[in-house]
Chains A and B, each alone.
Chain A
């Protein structure tokens, strides 16, 4: 880089690099080539100007801390999963947000791609209690799903357990989800299927809605 910066030496014809920088002539050598990386903390020639201290900056600093603190505590901040591994407690399952399915906030699922839907058993609206009401809904749903199962049995032979798992929030979603979700099943089962803990679910009150109940299917 340095060698090219010749400012003026028109017509002088001597070694150009040193001359152009005005270093070479009077016995001053060029700085030796550097073989090692520059120091991690080079000396500061000019000390930096102090930070402006006014109310605005102070306030913004407080806002910054507060905002960060808030985000840390908010459900948007996802804690790493394996932290919970120290000891498994029975009560873990019933703690809001600590379970695998707890998302902690209430996303408006209509705004997210379908494949991302997580149905939290905690967030299940009490409304679903109504759907437990005996035969009416069960009959309607199970008929639809039975056909589905037969179709799937043909397709997947041994993978009967790949059908819908038991955590439907609203029955009206079931029908279409079934169809669309099919393409994801194969691989997802292999990924999730072995993990019993993460897919274990509490059958809950609307267990009866499902044809094949709490197996290891993916949860949508």
Chain B
């Protein structure tokens, strides 16, 4: 956790949950695990407020609690989880591409609430869908089916819950609830959860009414009733989404490098290994040629597929590897290598954009040849000595290139030492990730600044809109509406337009930057995993 990450988290949390929660989250991050009492005394907020804030953070899986050695409840904030807030739109969007509008709404609802009951999601999505598509009839079970789909493909995950017998028997409430879930249940929909109905508290049995009866009970007070799936909460499985992002990256990389069909082949291989391969695995399970051929969505002829496999194997990136010859050839995808290749490509394009194409050439040479002396760089990159020196120095000053000293004598005298330039991929990646965080902070700060600058205008627009809407509702004359419209001067409108354009640009840059962060971070993660 770096100070930049911390700053970014505090901005993100503030944006989503308000100042109080931000204060507490930052406190927890800066000071590590803390108990309630010390949080209250340091942040100078009312205990009530702190309680609420902690609840919100726990609800959104940013803060975890546990007992410390002395039996006190301690709260710990998780930077990684909080940083994901910036990626939420991407999760929602990919749910849309995978599962359509219903999937999008489901994931959005789950993200809104952090953790939520299945029955609640279904209810909420139903309401929102009704608003969106007036009149159009929707299969009542469609939402539920989509939810089950999402769970089956591990995009949603069950949260640990308290066990039933504890709940019923013990009257003493423990300091912290003991929540648990078995691995087998993580992606299994309990039978009761499938039913969207609710039961009345007093009568525990007879809750499983037919679908008709259920829909009639929807309108009544939720306080009185306990949903049948009470206690079984679901959250978004970010890891699964990350895996999906990574797979998409790999596919698009291959597509760009070779062609669409090659991308399809890799997509098929990734899809086949989706559930069999662990997220952090270094390579997918080997797949036989015939299996791949069978699973291809668009039938390729065997000969063609063979050629593509050969092409993929011969490719410089070495993402696809041959595992063995059985079954017409066993192939696997080297996920570590893929992550490295994609990350390197990202870094290279950063170098190109920041330093120009000549520096890019030097950088690529260094990547390829690993360790080079200044003289060799000039020769390999075919750049005149003086210019090359300057370019190398520039990149060195910005930490893209590092120097390895190899002294010929033990005294490290500069005149008897080799200075070898090299690119340390891990370090550069880390540095770039930090820079991305920095630019995310800058983007958000700028956005807040812009909003503050134009606050008056924005409020005015909202007011005008509200008045227009209410007048339209009451059936006002068009002339009146026009009059209200005119309260916004041309200049103001232009200003607003400009402001909105700027905000859109800033927000989109945020999303773009986060994409880069994702690529860089997954490489860092892979590296860390490899070193263990």
> What residues of chain A have their CB less than 8 Å away from a CB belonging to chain B?
1-2, 4-13, 16, 20-23, 45-46, 48-49, 51-52, 56-61, 63-65, 67-68, 70-72, 74, 76-81, 100-101, 103, 107-108, 110-118, 123, 125-127, 172-173, 175-177, 179-180, 184, 187-188, 191-192, 195, 198, 218-219
Contact = CB atoms under 8 A, between A and B. Distances in A.
A8 B374 contact: yes
B38 to A, nearest CB: 11
A77 B45 contact: no
For A77, A175, A198, A219, the residue with the greatest tally of chain B CB atoms inside 10 Å of its CB is A77
14 contacts: A4-B414, A4-B419, A8-B375, A49-B353, A51-B512, A60-B511, A76-B60, A77-B17, A110-B162, A115-B36, A127-B201, A173-B173, A180-B172, A191-B40
Nearest to B104: A63
Given A46-B353, A173-B173, A100 B48 contact: yes
B297 interface: no
Contacts of B176: 113-114
A12 B415 contact: yes
A101 B114 CA distance: 22
A108 B231 contact: yes
Contacts of B530: none
Contacts of A63: 89, 92-93, 108
Contacts of A127: 201, 223-224
Contact of A198 (B19, B46, B353, B505): B46
Contacts of A81: 20, 45-46, 49
Contacts of B108: 63, 67
For B17, B108, B415, B504, the residue with the greatest tally of chain A CB atoms inside 10 Å of its CB is B415
A46 B356 contact: yes
Contacts of B96: 59
For A4, A65, A108, the residue with the greatest tally of chain B CB atoms inside 10 Å of its CB is A108
B35 to A, nearest CB: 9
Contact of B373 (A8, A115, A173): A8
B95 to A, nearest CB: 10
Nearest to B65: A113
Contacts of A76: 16-17, 21, 56, 59-60, 114
Contacts of A177: 173
B511 A188 contact: no
B20 A78 contact: yes
A71 B389 contact: no
Interface in B138-185: 161-162, 167, 171-177, 179
A11 to B, nearest CB: 7
A107 B176 CA distance: 15
